[in-house]
Structure 1
Amino acid sequence: MRPLAVNSLVHLILPDVQELLRDGTAEEIAEALAPFHSADIADLLEGLEDAEAAKLLQALGLEQRVETFEHIEVGDQVRLFGAIGPEGMGTIIEEMSADDRADLLNELPQELASGLLSQLPAEEAKDAAVLSNYGEETAGGIMTSEFVRLTLDMTATEAIERVRTQATSKEQVFALYVLDDEERLRGVVTLSKLILAKPDATMGEVMYEHPISVPVEADQEDVVGRLRHYDFLAIPVVDGEGRMLGIVTHDDALDVVLEEQTEDVQKMAAVEPLEAPYFETALLTLVRKRAVWLTVLLGAGLVAGTILKGFHHVLEKAIALTFFLPLIIAAGGNTGAQSATLVIRGMAVGEMGPGDWLKVARRELLSGLMLGTLLGALGIGMAYLLGQGAVASTVFWTLVAIVTAGCLLGSLLPILLDRAGIDPAITSSPLVAGLVDILGIVFYFLIARLFLGI
C-alpha cells in the first residue's frame, strides 16, 4: 500500500491493529474497528502490507467493508483486489456504488473486468458497462446512475414510500427527480418539500419545473462550476434528448476540484502533471515530467545569456551595473509570476474570462507602474547606499519598466492561451519569470546606454 496518510488517529492505533492482525480472530478485528469511520480505516490500510490490509478488510462487516473500500484510491483498490482475489472481492464489487465500481473496472485488466461483469446481476453489469464508456473527464465519467426516480402522477405518499425503500441503495435522497414515461427529466422535488406536501398531491403538482441539468458530455470542470453556482448537493445529467442518465454529487465534485487544483499547481510549477500520487509515480517518470519544462527553461536561460553577452561592452565600461542585475531580474520575474497566479486563479473560479483582457491590462498596467515606482525608489536608495549613485537613474527606470512589463506579460499570457484553447495553467511561474528575465536584461542595458551615454 501507499505511505501512511497524515492522520493522527491512524498513527496512534496502527501498532495495536498490526498486533491484532497477527494474533486476533476475524470477529475480534471486526469488533475492534466497528466504532471507526470507514475513511479512517481506509487510511489505516495504507500503513499495512497488502496481505495485512486484505485480512483486515475481509474481517469487517459487509457494509463497513464496502464503504472502506470505496474510500481507498483506485490504484490501491487494484492492488488490494490482487491480494484478496476475484472470489473474495465479488460481494464488495456488487455492493459498491455504480460510479466507484465503474472506475475500478476501468483500471482492472480487460479479461478480469469482463469476468467480474459477467458475475454481476444483469442490470448492474449493463450499468457498469455504460458508465465505463463515458470520457473520464466528462459529466458521464464522474456521474452515478443511482438516484431516486419519481413519476409525474405519483402521490406524495407513494413517493415517500419509494424513498424509504430505495434510500439505502442511492447516493443521496435530498433531491428527487421526476421523469416522464420516456425517462426525460421533468422536474425536481426536494425531500423537505415532499415531506410537507399533502398526502394526495402528485409530483407534477409539487415539483420544481425547469430543473437545472448538465449534458452528459460536459467537461467535469463545467459541472463543478454549475454545482458551485447553484449550491446544489447533486446535479442531474441528461443526454441530447433530455433523458436523465444520472447525477453528479458534491463528493464527486470535491474529488474533481482536488484533481484539477493539483494539476494546475503542478503546471504552474513547470512540472508536467503526474497521473498518480507522488510515491506511486516511477522515478524515471517523475524525472521525465520535470525534465521537459526544465529543458525549456534552460533554453530561456541560454537566450538571456546570449543577450547578456551581446551587451558585454556596456558591462566593461560600467562594471557597477553587474551589482544590480540580480535585483532587476528577480523583481521582474517575481512580479510576472504574481500576475500570472492571480489571473489563472481568477479564470479558474470564473471571476474573469478572455473577454476581460482589456480590463485586466488596465489594472495590471497601473499596478505595474505603482509597484515599479516603489521598487525603483528602493533601488535608488540601494545604489547610493552601495556608493554607486552614477547608476541610480538606470536602476530606477529599469525597475519601473521591467515590473510593468512583468505585470502585463504575466496577466495577458494566460488569457491569450485560454483564447487559443490551451490550458492557461501552463503559463507556469518559472516560464513567465524566464521570459521577463530576458526582457529585464534588454531593458536594463538599453536604459544604461541612454543614461550613461555608453
Structure 2
Amino acid sequence: MNQKDLLRPAADAALGAPLQDFNTADAVEYLNTLELSRAADTLAALPLPRAVKMLEQPELTRSGDLVAALPVAKAAALLGLMADDRATDIVHELDEDERARLIPLLSAESRQAIQQLLSYPAHTAGALMTTEFVSVPADWTVGRTLQHIREVERTRETVYAIYVLDPRTQALQQVVTMRRLITGLPDEPILDVAQVNPPVTVDALLDQEEVAQLIRRHDLLAIPVVDARQQVLGIVTVDDILDALIEESTEDVHKFGGMEALEKPYMQIGFFEMLRKRAGWLSVLFLGEMLTASAMQHYEDELARAVVLTLFIPLIMSSGGNSGSQATSLLIRSLALRELRLRDWWKVALREVPTGITLGAILGVLAVIRIVSWQLLGLHDYGEHWKLLALTIGAALVGIVTFGSLSGSMLPFILKRLGFDPASASAPFVATLVDVTGLVIYFSIAAAILSGTLL
C-alpha cells in the first residue's frame, strides 16, 4: 500500500466531517453551497448509504453534474443503490457519453428498470413511477405477507400499500393498506383485509396532473400504474407527484413572466444561458409593442388636434392589460386543475363579457370622477369640451376592459387547442395584445364622441 492509499481514509474523513452532525436535509443544503468539484469530492467521501440518501433528495441541485463528476465505479454504485425513479431522474440529466459509461456498470435489474423508465415521455405517470413496490399473490395469508414485507422492505421505496395479484395472470386484483394488514389475523386470507372498492389505477401515459387529481380525489398515498392486462408496472407515490407538480408550477411561473422556464436555480444559470432564456420572448414582446407605435402613428392627426387625449393613453392601456392578465391567470389555473375543459370556452366567454363590462364601468366612473374633480377644483383645465372628454374616457374604459377580459380568457383556450402550454399566454403577452387593440378602441370611441368638437 502506497502513501496515497494510507492518506485516503483521513482525507475522506476530513471531507465528510462537516456533515457528521447534519441531518439529511441540512447536509443537502450544505452540499448545494459548495463548488461542484468540492461537492463531488465530499459526496464521494461519504459512506454509500449516506451518499445515496442525499442523492435521492429532490432538493439536491446539480445531481446529474455531481454524479458525472464522481469516479465511474462510485457513480455506478450509487445509482445501483438508489430508488429506480430517482436514479432515472439523474440519468436523464446526463449526456449520452456519460450514460454510455455508467449504465453498462449497473446490475441487470437496475439497468432494465432505468431503461424502462427512460422510455416513457416526460410528465407522465410512467416517467414518475417507481418499480420498487410490494406485491403478493392473492392466495397468501396476512402472516405470510407480513413476513415477506420484513424481508424486502429495505429494497422497496415504500410500503404504503401492498398490491394483491392474481397468482395465474399477475393482474392486479386488490390493494391492501398497511393499516388493514397489521390489524388482520395471521391466518386470515390477504383478500379478506383488502379494501372494498376496486383499485384505482392509471395508464403509464397519463399526464402527471391527472395523476395528481386522482391521488387527491381518492386520498391515496400511492397509485398503481398498470398496462392493458392490468399488470402492475410500478407505482406513483404522493411525494413524487408533489415534487413533479412543484417543478411544473415553477416552470409556469417563469412563463407567466414572459420567459423560458429555468431548469436550474437562478444563481446556477450562466450569463449567456440567462440571455437565451429571456431574450427570445422579450424580443417577441418588443416586436408586438411596435404595433402599438404603428397604431399611434395611424392616429397621429387626431393626437395633433386633441393633445389632451394623450394624457390618458397610459391609463387606458394599463387598465386593459391588467384586466386581461387577471382573466388569463384565472383561466390558466382552472385549466391546470381540470376545473374547465376546452368545450367550456363559450361558457367562459358568456361569463367574462358581463364581468368585463361591469369592471370597465367601475373604472370608467372612477376616471370620470377624476376628470370632473380636477376640472372643477382648478387642478387642470381640460378645455371647453371636458364633459365630452370625460364621457370618452369612461366609454373607452368599458370597451377596453371588456375586450381585455374576453381576450385574456380566450387565449389559454386557443393555445391549448393548438397544442401549446396555456401558461405561454403570459401576462406580458396579453398586455401587449391589449395595448395594440386598446388604442384602436380608444381612438375609435374618441372619433365617435368628439367628432365635430375636438376632432
User: TM-score by structure 2 length?
Assistant: 0.88
Letter of the 2:381 counterpart: G
Partner of 1:201: 188
Q: Give the stretch that moved more between structures: 279-288 or 432-441.
A: 279-288
Cα RMSD (Å): 2.4
Letter of the 1:334 counterpart: N
Partner of 2:428: 430
Partner of 1:387: 381
2:316 is aligned with 1:318? no
Instruction: Determine which of 417, 420, 429 is the counterpart of 2:418.
Output: 420
The SS at the match of 1:189 is strand
Deviations 1:137-172 (A, max 9, x none): 221111110000111001000111111222222111
Partner of 1:53: 39
Q: Give the stretch that moved more between structures: 310-319 or 332-341.
A: 310-319
The SS at the match of 2:122 is coil
- Say if 1:42 and 1:72, in contact at 8 Å, map to a contact too: no
Deviations 1:23-81 (A, max 9, x none): 97645765763442212211111212334323432343332221112226687223323
Q: Give the stretch that moved more between structures: 364-373 or 275-284.
A: 275-284
Partner of 2:366: 378
CA distance in 2: counterparts of 1:395 and 1:420, whole angstroms: 36
Instruction: Determine which of 82, 101, 104 is the counterpart of 1:96.
Output: 82
Give % identity.
38
Deviations 1:269-305 (A, max 9, x none): 2112234433343433332332222222222222222
Partner of 1:156: 142
- Say if 1:238 and 1:244, in contact at 8 Å, map to a contact too: yes
CA distance in 1: counterparts of 2:80 and 2:239, whole angstroms: 21
CA distance in 2: counterparts of 1:109 and 1:334, whole angstroms: 43
CA distance in 2: counterparts of 1:382 and 1:158, whole angstroms: 80
TM-aligned CA deviation for residue 125 of structure 1: 2.3
2:404 is aligned with 1:440? no
Letter of the 1:106 counterpart: H
Provide structure 2 residue ranges, at least 5 long, that are not aligned to the other structure: 1-8, 375-379
CA distance in 1: counterparts of 2:84 and 2:95, whole angstroms: 19
CA distance in 1: counterparts of 2:172 and 2:403, whole angstroms: 52
Aligned residues: 433
Deviations 1:396-430 (A, max 9, x none): 10011111111111112212322333321111111
Letter of the 2:275 counterpart: V
Tell me: CA distance 1:74–1:31, structure 2 relative to 1, closer, same or farther (3 Å): closer
The SS at the match of 2:307 is coil
TM-aligned CA deviation for residue 115 of structure 1: 4.3
Deviations 1:183-227 (A, max 9, x none): 321110000111112222222332235211111122222222222
TM-aligned CA deviation for residue 363 of structure 1: 2.6
- Say if 1:328 and 1:440, in contact at 8 Å, map to a contact too: yes
Provide structure 1 residue ranges, at least 5 long, that are not aligned to the other structure: 1-22
Tell me: CA distance 1:312–1:119, structure 2 relative to 1, closer, same or farther (3 Å): closer
Partner of 1:401: 399
- Say if 1:336 and 1:411, in contact at 8 Å, map to a contact too: yes
Moved over 6 A (4+): none
Tell me: CA distance 1:439–1:338, structure 2 relative to 1, closer, same or farther (3 Å): same
